[in-house]
Amino acid sequence: MIRETVSVMRDFGRLREIAGIFIRYGWGDAIKRLGLSKLLGASKLLHPQAALEVMHLPPEVRVRMAIQELGPTFVKLGQVLATRPDIFPPSWIAEFAKLQDKVPPVPFEELLPQLEQALGHSPFEVFRELNQEAIAGASIAQVHAAVLQDGTPVVLKIRRPHIESLIEADLRLLSHLGRLIESEMPEVRRLHLGKIIGQFSKSLRKELDLAAEGRNTDHFHANFEANPDVVFAKIFWEYTSEKLLVMEHLPGIAGNEIEEARASGLDLKKLAALGANTLLKMVLIDGFFHADPHPGNVFYLPGNRLAVIDCGMVGRLTLERRNQIADLLASLVSKDYETLLNILIDWAGDASVDETKLEGDLEEFLFNYHDASLRQISFGRLLNDLTTVMRENHLSVPSDLAMLFKALITLEGLGRQLDPDFQIVRHLTPFVKQVIYDRYMPGTLLKRGRRSLMGALGMLTSVPRDFAKLMKEMRRGRVKIEFDLKRLDHFGHQIDHSTNRLTLGLLTSALIIGSSIVMTVKGGPTLLGLPAFGFLGFFIASVFGLWLMISIWRSSRED
């Protein structure tokens, strides 16, 4: 098992370095438990006295110090962990949030060969001017200002040399270490480190591709094309590649320069509202959002416009997820714990949940806010308190929502810097109402009904094949069936009810689709100016739907 933690021998030195750093910060016992100390000769890496010097510090501080020393891959992982208050307590989240993705810039001479390779020419032939001093930088890439031959000011984001191989080596080791930790330390399995590392690796590999950031920027530009107040940089694709991103220079005031923005005559209240509406549109309407809207990625432009940059980290939300988010946010604002309970249980999936405890915790959580006005509510605190309830009930937030919660909390903080009276809830309500309204539009219902009907038909056509496969497996003795006879009568009764509801739901969907088609046919008898058969179909579907909702409501009351 130990040797499985190293995919290739070239990673051995890095693994030894990682172990040495964690030992230095007092985690020698953990290294021993993982069985790495003998393999790596870790006991010889340093004198035990070095670890004793930091043992008076809290464990979360020692972990953060080790991560900071381990370099960019681990720092970025720590920043991801800072978005998971559903997994880690507040003191750990606060330490992870201190991690800074800042490294000294690479000398331009070291960047030049990579820049020439990416452009296919000498950069001095492509650019009239090129500032060899970096104006910004991070672990993956650094930024230089330049001017095209036609006089257009641009910004070059250049990937650091050899960073891909360094990150890939760390990701390989993280993957192996995650599995090893879950195998050897049962007490931390609830953290789902393997799953977190897998999602993190996928996201970080995307960040390495600077062309992907360009595509994200273009996607945002298309989504906000109708809104001139929200600006995204133009991408110069003739020069852009995986290792180089060339984009329009957007002169403006940095997002954290609040006093400069005020002195320039900008309307800070309007900018705060614009920022809120921008992110909420991304999340609830477009399903494609900027996952890192901190002040460094925002600029204020003349005319109270907003420029958003650094679109490498994005989140994507399906329509179903957006509906869940709308329901979640609506239930938080209206303090509806029953809806909130159902959503959290749905997110729990197969995880075991003590529903009675969760229900009591949610009631207590919402009671703490029952007398609070919009002005008194910090939405960030509301989300953090909710994730605390989830953590205490061993529930985890889906990864896409963890990014979203972090983005909303960051946005609220920036909004309140611009406008002390800023309330994200005021901007939230219209978007939530729009999502819920769109959900029940005839066109949406028709699409959902058609999908349900086609899914049911597909399931029916697959039954003979699946049954034949099941019989074949049974003949081979490969099928194992376990019975739990507790409350069997009640279970059978529930199956009857569920089958009846499913049948009625399919009939209702079929009536809606059929009636919609009939409504488009001209001629024939009419009723109230509408085709009579189509009207009758909709009426029957409404009765069926009403009966179905009453039945579901009554059964939930009985339960």
Residues 6+ apart with CB under 8 A from 116: 122, 123
Going by the DSSP 8-state scheme, the letter that residue 382 receives in this structure is H
The Cα–Cα gap between 442 and 461 comes to 28
Alpha helices in 297-376 (DSSP H): 319-334, 337-348, 355-367
Helix (H/G/I), strand (E/B), else coil: 218:
helix
Contacts of 249 (CB under 8 A, 6+ apart): 145, 153, 154, 155, 233
Q: Which residues are catalytic?
A: 292
Burial 241-259 (b: 16+ CB within 10 A, else e): bebbbbbbebebbebeebe
Burial (CB < 10 A; 0-12, 13-18, 19+), residue 196, is: buried
424-439 and 399-418 helices, crossing angle to 10°: 140
DSSP-derived pairing of the beta strands 305-308 and 230-231: parallel
Helix (H) or strand (E) holding 433: helix 424-439
* H or E, element range at 289: strand 288-290
The CA–CA distances, whole Å, from 497 to 225, 414, 552, 553, 554 equal 49, 51, 9, 13, 12
CA atoms 241, 287, 378, 305: torsion sign: positive
DSSP assignment of 109-163: HHHHHHHHHHHSS-HHHHEEEE--S-SEE-SSEEEEEEEETTS-EEEEEEEPTTH
Dist. CA 441–CA 108, nearest whole Å: 57
CA distance 217 to 272: 21
Return the closest-CA partner of residue 255 out of 302, 298, 218. 298
Give the residue carrying structure tokens 């059964």: 555
